[in-house]
Structure 1
Amino acid sequence: MTRVNVMQPWLGEEEAAALADVIASGWVAQGPRVAAFEQAFAESQQASYAVATSNCTTALHLALVVAGIGPGDDVVVPSFSFIATANAPTYVGARPVFADVDGTTGNLTAGTVEQALTSRTRAVIAVDQGGVPVDIGALRALCDPRGIVVVEDAACAAGSTYRGRPVGVEAEIAAWSFHPRKILTTGEGGMLTTSRADWADRARKLREHAMSASAAARHQSVLAPPEQYDEIGFNYRMTDLQAAVGLVQLARLPEAVARRRELAAAYAKEIGEIYGLRAVADPSWGTSNFQSFWVEVGHGYPVDREGLMAALAAAEISARRGIMAAHRQPAYADRDTGGVALHVTEWLTDATLILPLFHQMSESEQARVIDVLRDPRSVL
């Protein structure tokens, strides 16, 4: 029986041709295609400025640096997220303070964030978990009057919407991922978008060791100008090879999201008829790209989450456990992270799993998954 993967990148001949063009040009490092990708991504997301980076984690790091977050500051983050969300504040010497999430969306809310605020809170990192848009307007209504910066971790959310517009628009600064698990992939890679020109300019310098003259500008000059380093920077650059793939992927994004929403609707219809299972869904304020389609295994279902994963594996179907709880990881278990109760986070981490969903998924492959969901004991 052919294995059904949890995710497959949608890549083809157009990406291969774009890579060949870059190689033939002789310019493969950060250069003209990175600039073109930044402009195209900013336009597609209705962002004022976009700065390409090596990955989303480095984009989050830069976002906190340009926002002035540092030692002695607290940053509220969800524990219910990939660990990079908590790591970014740690990189700048701040303390990540874990807040709980909403049980339906898996996202921070104004209420859960307010419970985690301290006198030292300077920023909040709000995640669009699995592509489900966070209610960024409610968070900013809470944080803006307090002088707290809201950073949107839109790693999973390219193609999702918030109140009819692309996610990220309502945040002063946002970070994006182009990892192979994401709908828009460049292999590795990330992006920082912001409404502030000063933050964008500083992020561009910091990603290149804080050089006064960019590498592209120096290489385009016959007599390169001398460079100067005014502060400690980083090597967080994207390559033109990655950007060339990103430009192709960006053009396909609407089609990719439409296909994923079609598959998600088919899952939701069937799961809605299975007692004990609940599928992730659009919130009232936006639409998800369904980067991850997760299901909550509740009381009354014939098996628990681990049992359902075993049943899917027995049918050669790859699933993944739900989003991790960062506060349980050894890296943070012994740290002071605020001490807020995280009951919803722990329940969702223990009771959810991510089902296969990818652009090329066939009706028969999805039917195999649904058959196991209906009767997991039949394959155990």
Structure 2
Amino acid sequence: MVFQKEKNNSPKHMIPIAKPYLTEEEAQAAYDTILTGWITQGPKVQEFEEKFAKYTGAKYAVAVSNCTTALHLSMIVAGIGTGDEVICPSMSYIATANAIKYVGATPVFAEVKPETYNLDPVDTEKRITDRTKAILIVHQIGMPGNIDAFQELCEKYNLKLIEDAACAVGSVYKNKKIGAHSELVCFSFHPRKVISTGDGGMITTNREDYYKRLRLLRQHGMSINDRVRHEASKIIFEDHVEVGYNYRMTDIQAAVGIKQLEKLDWIVAERRKIAAAYHEAFKDIDFISLPLESEGNYSNYQSFCVYLRKNCPVERNTLMQELLDKGIATRRGIMTSHRETAYRKFQENTSLPISEDLQDNSIILPLYVPMGREEVTYVIDTFLGMLTPKALVL
């Protein structure tokens, strides 16, 4: 197991929960693009889209401003609107539910499976009604969801399937990269994600009609894009054929994204090494549960989540504070949207005990590239040492 080394690894040096891996190559790419004079959606965006589609195995990719806008546009092209219901996990960043509300539909929260933090197909089916129009699955913390099971449900009940793959770029389902298994898959390039363009998103699809409309909607519904008009030898006047949005990605972001994409498999491999070290260190502790992968399904480990069972000798929040005091940043378990203020009244009768328990008793540990061997060891030793003094002897 080989980690990138960092010089400063004293306890006074704060180990962050995450940070983007950006190098001089990305800076040079952004610099070169700025000097071309074409800095908004243009040739670099098209290049990034083509390379991203090829990487995921999808026919098409559409770059947008972030994953929330990707989800919003996916709802629109899937035909979801006022009066419809969309089943999704509450255990996800609130943008998942918000995108459903943006089109006037109602999010119906379902339970997750504790070993993967992903939507439970059995509980989901129980919540299907005659108003259900779609299922929005989330590949939480990079762990692949059960796409096949949800495709079967969607076929059975004539529903649309949308994948929130915000955390899952580079993850693998059934030995194939996530991005080409269903009709609409949404990715994020936020700095907390495995690759970043500062912010930004991508939608992959195998449907040409979705591809064309997504491109239209992201740019105000404009019938002729800027590149066509710029390169034309005759005067062209555009038409705005429907109400659209300004959800474009810039060429500066896309230039960075192209360089990030080139490194993605290496970044995922490095993240998996760190995750493997955590797994090895914590696997035999009876009051800790770790995320589980199944054969053919591999996580990019966008985050590493540790669940503390009832017999854990230290309360979760106390443990987080003690780690912070020792220079180690952590985060609470994945949020549950139905308990946020914006959804509390709306979902006041919602009961999701598994999701709530996972949020209340989980800790997300630092994981990023390059995270040095010394940092990984310090996190492990400090974490185990706070649970039991004997655990310090590794």
TM category (shorter chain) comes to: over 0.9
Counterparts in 2 of 1:9 and 1:224: CA distance versus 1, 3 Å? farther
Match of 2:331 in 1: 320
Match of 2:249 among 238, 243, 246: 238
Counterpart position of 2:357: 347
- CA deviations over 1:112-163 (Å, ceiling 9, x no partner): 2112211100011100000000010011111123110110000000110000
Is the CA contact 1:115–1:340 (under 8 Å) kept in the aligned structure 2?
no
Pick from 17, 22, 46: which aligns with 2:28? Answer: 17
Shift of 1:42: 0.2
Structure 1 partner of 2:384? 374
State the 1:222 CA deviation.
Answer: 5.2
Query: CA–CA distance in 1 between the matches of 2:154 and 2:294?
Result: 21
1:109 pairs with one of 82, 103, 120:
120
Kept in 2: contact 1:158–1:289 (CA 8 A): yes
Is residue 2:272 matched to residue 1:261?
yes
Deviation at 1:176, TM superposition (A): 0.4
Supply the distance in 2 between the matched residues of 1:368 and 1:16 (Cα, whole angstroms): 31
2: CA distance between counterparts of 1:286 and 1:114? Answer: 23
Once the two structures are superposed, residues 271-315 of structure 1 have per-residue CA deviations (whole angstroms, 9 ceiling, x without a partner) of 113331122232345000000001001122220211210121111
Question: Equivalent of 1:6, from 17, 30, 33?
Answer: 17
Aligned positions of 1:55-94 closer than 5 A: 55-94=66-105
Partner Cα distance (1:9, 1:181) in 2 = 7
Give the Cα separation in 1 of the matches to 2:26 and 2:89: 35
Identity of aligned residues (%): 45
Secondary structure of 1:291 counterpart = coil
Quote the Cα distance in structure 1 between the aligned partners of 2:378 and 2:203. Answer: 39
The unaligned stretches of length 5 or more in structure 2 are 1-11, 390-394
Deviation, 1:224, is 4.3
Tell me the alpha carbon deviations over residues 243-266 of structure 1, each in whole angstroms, 9 at most, x when there is no partner. Answer: 000000000000000000011000
Judge conservation of contact 2:141–2:301 (CA < 8 Å) in 1.
Answer: yes
TM-score, length-normalised on structure 1? 0.97
Q: Secondary structure at the match of 1:85?
A: helix
**CA displacement at 1:369 relative to structure 2:** 0.8
* Secondary structure of 1:286 counterpart: coil
Which SS does the other structure have where 2:196 is aligned?
A: coil
Deviates more, 1:36-45 or 1:218-227: 218-227
SS at match of 2:181: coil
1:40-68 deviation per Cα after TM superposition (whole angstroms, max 9, x unaligned)? 00000001110000000000000010011
Query: Could you say which residue in structure 2 is the equivalent of 1:356?
Result: 366
Instruction: Give me the whole-angstrom Cα distance separating, in 2, the residues matched to 1:312 and 1:267.
Output: 16
Gaps in structure 1 of 5+ consecutive residues? none
Cα pair 1:105 1:283 within 8 Å, conserved: no
Aligned residue number for residue 273 of structure 1: 284
Take 1:377 and 1:139, find their aligned partners in 2: how far apart are those partners? 39
Judge conservation of contact 2:271–2:368 (CA < 8 Å) in 1. yes
Q: Cα deviation per residue 1:173-202 (whole Å; 9 max; x = unaligned)? A: 110000000111100000011111000100
In the TM superposition, what are the counterparts of 1:1-380 in structure 2 within 5 Å?
1-221=12-232, 223-336=234-347, 339=349, 341-376=351-386
Q: CA deviation at 1:221?
A: 2.9
**C-alpha separation in 1, matches of 2:38 and 2:29:** 13
Q: Equivalents in 1 of 2:56, 2:252: separation in Å?
A: 22
2:359 partner letter: T
State the AA in 2 paired with 1:146: Y
Query: Aligned with 1:41: secondary structure?
Result: helix
Q: Deviations over 1:324-366 (max 9, x none)?
A: 00000111111158x5531110001101111000111111111
CA distance in 1, matches of 2:267, 2:32: 24
User: Over the residues paired in the alignment, what is the CA RMSD in angstroms?
Assistant: 1.4
SS at match of 1:256: helix
TM-score, structure 2 normalization: 0.93
CA distance in 1, matches of 2:231, 2:77: 28
Contact 1:173 1:193 in 2 (8 A): yes
CA–CA distance in 2 between the matches of 1:105 and 1:132? 6
User: Which stretches of structure 1, 4 residues or more, deviate above 6 A after TM superposition?
Assistant: none
**For the Cα contact (< 8 Å) 2:338–2:350, is it kept in 1?**
no
CA distance in structure 1 between the aligned counterparts of 2:351 and 2:173, rounded to whole angstroms: 28
Query: Does the 8 Å contact 1:109/1:138 carry over to 2?
Result: no
Does the 8 A contact of 2:92 with 2:337 survive in 1? yes
